Amino acid sequence: MTSKDSLYIYALIPNSSPYSLSGGGIGGKEDDIFTIDYRDIQAVVSLSRIDEYEANRTNTLTHQRAIEDVMRQYPVLPMQFATVVDGQDALTDFLEKHYDEIVKQLDWISDKVELGLKVLVRQDEIFAQIVQQSEKIRAMKEKIEKMPFEKSYYERIEIGRLVAEELEKEKNRYKDRFLELLTPLSVDVKENKCFGDKMILNGSFLVRKSEEEAFDQAVNNLDDELSDHLITKYVGYLPPYNFVHLHL
């Protein structure tokens, strides 16, 4: 490597001991991943053969796996996908310019972990529960069943509106239940965009490592309690993208 070779940056870590990963670099060239030191910071990098990287599955997974491997040993500030600098001098300039903020964020994140939780509703089960619990909806349903189909148009529209309204209330109630129990166990919480009609929570939780076991237990308890109506997808030890912010 020369000082002018472009570098792909995966993450920033404390300068405690050298890190390397043989053949794990992005771009399909099996480049090694290694570190470049600046004071008490290390940048986790590989040689960059190109200036722009397509955000395809292979590249994004390579980026993600490299960061996850580093996370097994160090607290990390993950860099965004396709962060490239024009050589070691440009990298040093960046680290020098943002040194105080980098050190501050590394210290802040060192005893914490990001955990991800997605919660989806089992809509058929909740629909059945809504009909069972609502006298008004049950009465309308019984009335419609006795009417000729072509004469029940407006009644069917109304019952659909009522069920949708109650479904939204149930979704909010379940989401609030998760947040009420998990937020006190978290340093910070971010509600991300939900996808599709069934997802009611797409949450990122920053949790102290000392509280992780209690957080895990709370998620498991909620899953046991509500599994008839909800599906939970819980993922641990994620790069803390949602809670640290550092960009070139």
- Comparing C-alpha atoms, which of 131, 126, 133, 124 is closest to residue 170? 126
- What element of type H or E holds 218? helix 212-226
Where the chain has pLDDT below 70, the residues are 1-4, 247-248
* Token code pair at residue 92: 């040093």
CA distances 18 to 3, 73, 159, Å, are: 19, 11, 65
* Token code pair at residue 230: 């909800």
**pLDDT at residue 24, as a whole number:** 84
* Token code pair at residue 158: 């109304």
* Token code pair at residue 121: 């509703």
Residues 211 and 185: beta-carbon distance below 8 Å: yes
Query: pTM for the whole thing?
Result: 0.84
CA distances 164 to 18, 36, 120, 161, Å, are: 57, 56, 16, 5
Q: CB-side exposure of 69: number of CA atoms within 13 Å?
A: 18
Relative orientation angle of helices 123-133 and 153-182, to the nearest 10 degrees: 110
DSSP 170-203: HHHHHHHHHHHHHGGG-SEEEEPPP-TTTEEEEE
- Comparing C-alpha atoms, which of 56, 79, 55, 57 is closest to residue 67? 79
How much helix, strand and coil, in percent to the nearest 5, is found in the chain?
45, 25, 30
Domain ranges of the chain: 7-110, 113-238
